[in-house]
Amino acid sequence: MPLSIAFISFAHGHVGVYADVLKMMPEVRLAACWDDDSVRGKSMAERYGMGFVPVLDDMLGDGTIDAVIIGSPTNRHAEHAIAAARAGKHILCQKPMALTLEDCDAMIAAVQENGVTFSIAYQMRHDPVNQFMRQAVHDGVLGKVGCVRRRHCIPVLFNDDFINGGTHWHIDPVQNMGMFMDDATHAADWFYWTFGRPRSVVAEIDNVLTTVAPDDTGVAILRFEGGGYVAPGMMGILLNSSVTHVGINTTEMYGDKGVLIQNYGDAPSMSIARPADAKPVFLFRTDQKERVWQTPDLPIPASHGDRIAAVPKPFVDCLLNGAPVPAPAEEGRVAIEMVLAAYKSAKTGQRVTFPPVKKT
C-alpha cells in the first residue's frame, strides 16, 4: 500500500511545492487536507485530487492516513503537531518549528510519547553543495575552522503580493514573530548541522529598509566551544535579510588549512542570470602544490524552488525505507533556541549565553 499523506493547512507556500513532488511519487497517496481557510483548502484539494475535510479532528481520526504535512502559521504548529502525534500520524512540519521553547518541548514530548516520526522541513540539509561543504568540514579539509559567514536572504518585503496577499500572516508578530524568526532559522539550522551548538550570540535585528514587518534584517555573531574541526571560539556570522534583491556569494569558511567559498546558495543568488560556467564552490587548501582555487564538479540547482522540492523525498524514505530522520524535533528546537537568543540580544544589547546541554 502506498504511504498515505494528508495536509494540515496550505498557508505556507512551500507546502504546495511538496504536494507537487509527492503527487509524482508512486509510493505515495495524497489522501486529504484540512485548512482553516476553506476556500484555499478546497482549491488545493481539487488541484491535487484529494478530499477536503472541514474538521481537523475528523481527518486526524482517519485510520488510513499515515502521515501529515503541517503548513499552518507558525504559532499553530505546536497545536497541530501535538494533535497529529496523539492521532498516531508521522509529521513533516514546516519551519520554524514553533515560536517558543515551551511549544517545542511540548511537541517533542508528544512525538516521543506517541512513537511517531517528526521532521522539520529544512531544505538546506538536502542541497548537494551544503552536504559537500559539511563533509569537507567534518573531514578536516579546512583544518580547524575559525570564522564562517553564512547569508540566507529573500526579497519578499519588496513584494506587495507577499505583504498584502494570502501570505500576510508571515509579517504578523502574533503568528510568526518576525522575518528573522521566519527565515533565519534556515541559516541557524545550517550552523548547528555543520558545526554543532553555539555557546553564545550577539545580534542586531531591526527594520532598516522597510516598516511593513516587525523586522527586515538581522545579523547574529555566534561563538562556538570548539573541538575537532571547530576552532575554540569559532565565530559564525549569520546574515539574514528579507530585503535583498540579488546576490552571489553565500558562504565563506576560513580554516587554518584551507578556505571554502560557496556561491549561488540562497534565493537572491538564484534569481539572476549567472555565467554558463559558474561554479558553486571554490576551495583552497594549503597542502596543494599550486596556489589556485579548486572548483569541485557540483550541481547548482536551477532555482531556489529546486531546494524546496528536495524536502519531501527524504521524509518519505525515512518512513518507508528506514532512512535517518532528516531533521528531528530535538534538532529543530536548537534553531529556535538560537533565533530566540538572537532576538533577546538585539533587544537587550547584551551577549546571550546558551545553557549547557542536558545530559540524559
φ/ψ of residue 189, rounded to 5: -60, -40
Other CB atoms within 10 A of residue 194 CB: 24
Average pLDDT estimate for 283-301: 95
Q: Is the pLDDT of residue 36 over 90?
A: yes
User: Across all residues in the chain, what is the average pLDDT?
Assistant: 96
**How many angstroms separate the Cα of 360 from the Cα of each of 198, 324, 357?**
20, 21, 9
Q: Burial of 156 by CB count in 10 Å (0-12 exposed, 13-18 middle, 19+ buried)?
A: buried
Higher pLDDT, 356 or 20: 20
**How many angstroms separate the Cα of 302 from the Cα of each of 17, 22, 122, 277?**
15, 19, 18, 14
CB-hemisphere CA count at 13 Å for 322?
Answer: 0
Q: Are 157 and 213 in contact (CB under 8 A)?
A: yes
Could you read off the pLDDT of 8-25 as tens digits, one per residue? 999 999 999 999 999 999
Q: Is the pLDDT of residue 345 over 80?
A: yes
Could you read off the pLDDT of 203-235 as tens digits, one per residue? 999 999 999 999 999 999 999 998 999 999 999
Coil/strand/helix, residue 72: coil
pTM for this one? 0.96
Provide the residue type at 200 as one letter: S
Q: Is the pLDDT of residue 358 over 80?
A: no
Average pLDDT estimate for 48-69: 97
The grid cell for 220 is 547574529
CA 201, CA 355: separation in Å to the nearest integer? 12
Phi-psi sector, 222: left (phi>0), alpha (psi -120 to 50), beta: beta
Could you read off the pLDDT of 125-138 as tens digits, one per residue? 999 999 999 999 99
Domains recognised in the chain with CATH numbers: 3-116 (3.40.50.720), 124-300+339-348 (3.30.360.10)
Could you read off the pLDDT of 330-341 as tens digits, one per residue? 999 999 999 999
Name the β-bridge partners of 235: 147, 223
Q: What is the pLDDT of residue 356?
A: 80
Could you read off the pLDDT of 155-195 as tens digits, one per residue? 999 999 999 999 999 999 999 999 999 999 999 999 999 99
Spatial CB neighbours of 46, under 8 Å, sequence gap ≥ 6: none
Q: Are 158 and 243 in contact (CB under 8 A)?
A: yes
Q: Where are the beta strands (DSSP E) in the chain?
A: 3-8, 28-34, 51-52, 67-70, 90-93, 118-120, 145-151, 198-206, 217-224, 230-241, 249-255, 258-263, 281-285, 352-353
Q: What is the pLDDT of residue 1?
A: 84
CA 75, CA 11: separation in Å to the nearest integer? 12
Average pLDDT estimate for 248-275: 96
Could you read off the pLDDT of 98-111 as tens digits, one per residue? 999 999 999 999 99
CA 9, CA 11: separation in Å to the nearest integer? 5
Confidence grade of residue 359 (pLDDT, cut at 50, 70, 90): low
